[in-house]
Structure 1
């Protein structure tokens, strides 16, 4: 359940946004949908606006965000592939709020069914009832086509002694590959490495071994465990075209580089 600071911010936001006739509604997604909010939760707002005002609204996103509270900092979300989002920090107390600005038509393509906090008319409700969310799942073939190239790249960094670069690279592989596949194996949405700590068991302990330290030995061991877990997770994947030669060559190269250390 939302805490008082979340509820206060939501109530104020509704009051402010309904005064703008270009806007059609305010929705919220994320942890508020599942009812697992705590003091560390942010707010994932979706502001729906009339399509005819698109250019105007997109140019005024930060000024609109400034009206909702004491905005300490804000920037757009190109780095996460979502330029429609304004990532905001309000305070005090500090509160992280993501605000995505969309038209009703854009709302049709969504990963979840957000909660409607306020709407003008019933256009948003009608669209939500007539369409279904679709959470993006990773393509196993997309991963397989790239994974062994990533292994080779990691081996070159091992050979050069570029530990920081290799640590970041293995972290990327955990977030983009192992985390999502771990979630899918456990019947969950593939949300990167979010909340993997709630699981127990041998595989979680093995996943911890993919966290490298700043040395050749520790990076090598982490990359080897990354490979081991990926090969296990991809088992019995229907229709997957294995890149066997790429797998063999990249692993062999990794071993030869390590043996030179």
Structure 2
């Protein structure tokens, strides 16, 4: 952990210790694995007494301002987490995610956090009793959808909506290709996070799935996405129902679209 992270955390501890509404502070993200660097943000969980829920949830920005020079902050509904406050602090500039949870909600996470500070031992006790499980993608769910998504990409390519193709290929990397490759390499399936260091053997193949705003580039990137998916799917295809006809027809349709371009 760098000094800027440590200094910020110490200031949060100082403020929270003097606020009897809070029970403790937990940390997630890079701090769990101790692999933070100068570009890491902070993922902090502020645990409070349920009896103060309404008061705290209504005043989260005010609470966050006590931790430093808050440039901007907003809630996390767009990522399905309304308890989250996404913040940008200054001097030094630092991204900090603050999640406000009750002690009862601490059991509901997907990764076991670490205790940064606690008023009493109840937090440590809960963590020791709870089994956290990171969500892994459903392989059949992916196969059921992948070829529909390829057909969708082909239709947008045929229409000339190249920005849509580029954007959708990014979705496929983050939703399908990245997680499956990370799973193969015994890493947590976090989209394409740290894919350069966690799957260096496939870096060249990943690059081929990135298109520029040209029809040929988009077409080749779709083909490369298909090729990479099929390569990864071999690891587990005996365990799922392969959508062979959907695969055949969507690839055929993509080739027909390319001929018309």
Aligning the two structures, in what range does the TM-score lie when normalised by the shorter sequence? over 0.9
Are residue 156 (structure 1) and residue 168 (structure 2) matched?
no
Residue 43 of structure 1 is matched in structure 2 by 42
The whole-number CA distance in structure 2 between the counterparts of 1:104 and 1:235 is 43
Contact 1:77 1:87 in 2 (8 A): yes
Provide, for residues 225-247 of structure 1, a one-character-per-residue CA deviation record: whole Å limited to 9, x for no partner: 11111112122425312222221
Q: How does 1:39-78 map to 2 (within 5 A)?
A: 39-78=38-77
Per the TM alignment, residue 108 of structure 1 is displaced from its structure 2 partner at its CA by 0.8
The whole-number CA distance in structure 1 between the counterparts of 2:180 and 2:146 is 13
Are residue 253 (structure 1) and residue 253 (structure 2) matched?
yes
**1:105 partner SS:** helix
Contact 1:154 1:169 in 2 (8 A): yes
Which consecutive aligned stretches of 4+ in structure 1 deviate over 3 angstroms post-superposition?
none
TM-score, normalization by structure 2: 0.96
Per the TM alignment, residue 200 of structure 1 is displaced from its structure 2 partner at its CA by 2.7
**2:46 partner SS:** strand
Per the TM alignment, residue 144 of structure 1 is displaced from its structure 2 partner at its CA by 1.1
Higher deviation after alignment, 229-238 or 158-167 = 229-238
Per the TM alignment, residue 77 of structure 1 is displaced from its structure 2 partner at its CA by 1.2
**2:200 partner SS:** coil
**2:82 partner SS:** strand
Residue 101 of structure 1 is matched in structure 2 by 100
Per the TM alignment, residue 53 of structure 1 is displaced from its structure 2 partner at its CA by 2.2
Per the TM alignment, residue 79 of structure 1 is displaced from its structure 2 partner at its CA by 1.8
Provide, for residues 99-148 of structure 1, a one-character-per-residue CA deviation record: whole Å limited to 9, x for no partner: 01111221112222212111121211111000121111111111111111
Contact 1:109 1:134 in 2 (8 A): no
TM-score, normalization by structure 1: 0.96
Are residue 243 (structure 1) and residue 246 (structure 2) matched?
no
Residue 119 of structure 2 is matched in structure 1 by 120
Residue 136 of structure 2 is matched in structure 1 by 137
The whole-number CA distance in structure 1 between the counterparts of 2:104 and 2:254 is 49
Per the TM alignment, residue 177 of structure 1 is displaced from its structure 2 partner at its CA by 0.6
